[in-house]
Amino acid sequence: MTIHPAVRLLVPAGLFAILVAAPRGRRDPAADPGPAPVLEPQPEAVPDVPLSELYHELPAPGAKVTVVEFSDFGCPYCGRFSLETFPQLRKEYVETGKVRWRFVPFSLGIFPNGAEAMQAATCVAEQGEDAFWKMHDILFATQAEWKGSRAPRELFRGYARKVGADIAAFDACYAGRRAEDRVAAATALAHRSGVRSTPSFFVGGTLIQGALPIEQFRLVLDRVTR
């Protein structure tokens, strides 16, 4: 799997070091990811999409540590982390300026309507990062609903409306499949970065796979933010 050269040139230096130059395949011994799904090899063709369009950031000006999370909206372990663990980590580390958090959604291709959920989130993101993070929360909170639907588009439209998105603009993006290139490029980036299961995190150059309990995640973040 290769990333288009133009994508590499657009990678911010700090994120490039974490996603590409970081040690590969290192697993935190405290991680307990459960029966995590495995990312299958992807086709070689990768759309030319700048990396800055593949991640969503919760900025923390002056933060010396960047956490990069790779996640699939259809993954139940990702949902558990997002709903149960991340809100407290965000309060303790992001809002206090210790950690900059970057979220890279991609599709493992094994969850019902997972790629469509990412497309919906990406279309909402065209209207602002605040709208994206609200959509992020709704998609994880309603996993069972949209994963079990044979017609998820109307559900996604309803979620987009809840976060205040312009529905006409959302419809144009979703119907036009404008987000498909981002889905493919983000999945390729995950594969090239050594991500094989979800959720996965790069913390200070170390790849951690699995939804760590909050106590263990605190130990990891405290070690790199001292």
With a CB cutoff of 8 Å and minimum separation 6, the contacts of 225 are 64, 65, 93, 98, 99
Residue 29 has pLDDT above 50, yes or no: no
Mean pLDDT, rounded, of the chain: 81
Most confident listed range (23-27, 38-42, 121-125): 121-125
What percent of the chain is modeled with pLDDT above 90? 58
The mean per-residue pLDDT over the stretch 71-94 comes to 96
Range of the domain at 79: 5-225
pLDDT score at 9: 26
| CATH at 24 | 3.40.30.10
Our count of domains for the chain comes to: 1
Cα distance between residue 210 and residue 221, in whole Å: 15
pLDDT score at 164: 96
Note every long-range contact of 42-46, with CB atoms under 8 Å and residues 24 or more positions apart, other chains counting: 42/1, 42/184, 42/187, 42/188, 42/191, 44/1, 44/2, 45/184, 46/1, 46/2, 46/3, 46/4, 46/7, 46/184, 46/185, 46/188
| Bridge partners for 218 per DSSP | none
The mean per-residue pLDDT over the stretch 75-101 comes to 95
* pLDDT tens digits along 1-10: 223 333 332 3
Residue 168 has pLDDT above 80, yes or no: yes
Higher pLDDT, 182 or 224: 224
* pLDDT tens digits along 141-151: 999 999 999 99
The mean per-residue pLDDT over the stretch 194-213 comes to 89
pLDDT tier for residue 41 given thresholds of 50, 70 and 90:
very low
